[in-house]
Structure 1
Amino acid sequence: MQRAIQAENYVQHAPVTLLRPGVDTENPVRSRFEKIIRNAQDSICAAISEIDGKPFHQDAWTRADGGGGISRVLADGNVWEKAGVNVSVVYGSMPPEAYRAATSNREVLKNKGDAGRVPFFAAGISSVMHPRNPHCPTMHFNYRYFETEEWNGIPGQWWFGGGTDITPIYIDEADMKHFHGTYKEVCDRHDPTYYAKFKKWCDEYFCITHRGETRGLGGIFFDDLNDKDPQTIMNFSEDAVNHVAAAYCPIIKKHLNDSFTEQEKQWQQVRRGRYVEFNLVYDRGTTFGLKTGGRIESILMSMPSTASWLYDHQPAAGTREADFLDACRNPRNWV
């Protein structure tokens, strides 16, 4: 508990860079990626504020173990109950269990034990947005760059990860074609195999295993991506994060004034409960943040303001709720 409290220090103004002068600033991948995620934070927050009519509150913080971040949260807005966009650049050393949480590549860590700490560098942008209206979808995105130094005989590693996914509570075919179509176009510009591969990966990653259903209706997701040179993969990551607003905002504008019933609002609360279950039980980003003594407010920003767990709640056959649940249990192709 004490370590987590000491891990952050609020600063009045966001620093020009969160990188270490002469160390990270001389690294073309680290320095460029920080610019990408900070520019994306600015542009996405501006697009969301323009729709909501309320500004984001900003906290800038530094971390005793190294690095820091900029958290922006729009709370109790006109359109969003809570929307957050966080940027962080952190470095230092982490326990081996945090390393395991950070990567999906379990083979590289096999039989390596828990001795020592792993030197690392991580930079990323993450966001979750929970609208008021049940006809407006929740949206999540995360893009990150990760490096480790040699540890227990494992050479230093680097990789990119991330993606953008959408969690409505009702199916609107046109919305899903727009959202998935936007990301298919992004993927196709960089590699024609990406969309099908990353869409499947998204459906599999965001699966609530104990429920046998996905958290939402997918998007793209990738991790441990290092099969091309870093600049090439970074170009893809930049294109993807820069299309968050284009994929999401038109859907919100279309539905923000839709009327809704109390039953529809209740279904939204039930699905938010599923969101909480995934994030606290399965999400590797949450696990990594907690195991590295990260900033708790930033880590748990993804939680909705309200959620519900109704005992053995089963939608009636033939309803829109049942159709949505079927899509979560049997992922569909939207484009």
Structure 2
Amino acid sequence: MGEPGVDVAAVRRALAELGQEPAGELALRRVGLGQSNLTYRVTDERDGVWVLRRPPLGELLESAHDVLREARILTALTGTGVPVPKVYGVLEPGVVGVDAAPAVVMSWIDGTVVDRMPVAHGLAPGSRREIALSLVRTLAEVHRVDLVATGLDGLATHKPYAPRQLRRWSTQWERSRTAGLPEVDALTTRLRAALPDERETTLVHGDFHLRNMITSAGRVVAVLDWELSTLGHPLADLGSLLAYWAEPGEQGLDGFLPSTLEGFPSRAELVAEYAAASGRDVTDIDFWHALGLWKLAIIAQGVLRRATDDPRNRAAEGTPTPEGIAAVVARAHAVADAARLGPAPSTAGASPARHRGIRT
């Protein structure tokens, strides 16, 4: 056995069956900070390298970790303007794991993932700006994908995206919450009362942010982690990116706040760059920003719940804290307040994070 949840001997047999015959013994090492699907770097004795991806261990929320669906999307995106790893094959449940879970084998792409503050600090200010602008331009490419030509037109319903997200993630919140946080419920009410008109449906990544990119020479060379991808409104992705994009003086889920460093552009600059790259109207971005923060808080709660239920799912940098989740929810309410989205909740009993003057 190598890493938890993976049988090394079974991985070797699977690679051979996929036409990727390894040389000598294999070594597996978990990579990335993702606490959702588990990702491993697989190497042999002659510089062969692959990526193996499988769902997390333990009980899973329905549809939240569908690696086979993710593989379908990556395969469809090959040859488009969106840079993605090559999928070598999918492995049916139980082939390489110690449990009945599927897995995907894909190519390894050299580059840098800005997933820790030391990595961000090591970038020159000019490189930080180049990466951020490439990030937004890459997002515009995601939303430019021809759904019919790629066979992704039937990936999901074309019904309005925001109501679907509110239904889905409200359910996930109820299933993963470990403590009461009434401000999440209040935010849900505000968002439901402020639904924008949706007149466009594109591919959406679903979790588009800096940690899910491989960069090289100031540009994005691969977009990773497509497990939440679906069809929906493109500004949802931009809103999610803004949710992760803290500005100086703001709190996040943890201490990873690279966008507060010199050189990284402001959220307003990201929105302007996206509008220029996509030609899209961004009038409703405040709603999608608040929705992105709401969703981020719920995703973080799911990560916390999985790590609590099974410590093997913890990543090297730890897990979100209840305090960090509350801070994200507070930021969402601040965005909603500024944009006058829905009825503002009473401040009575509000979490302390809402009263720290968090700037948005």
Give the TM-score, by structure 2 length.
0.28
Give the TM-score, by structure 1 length.
0.29
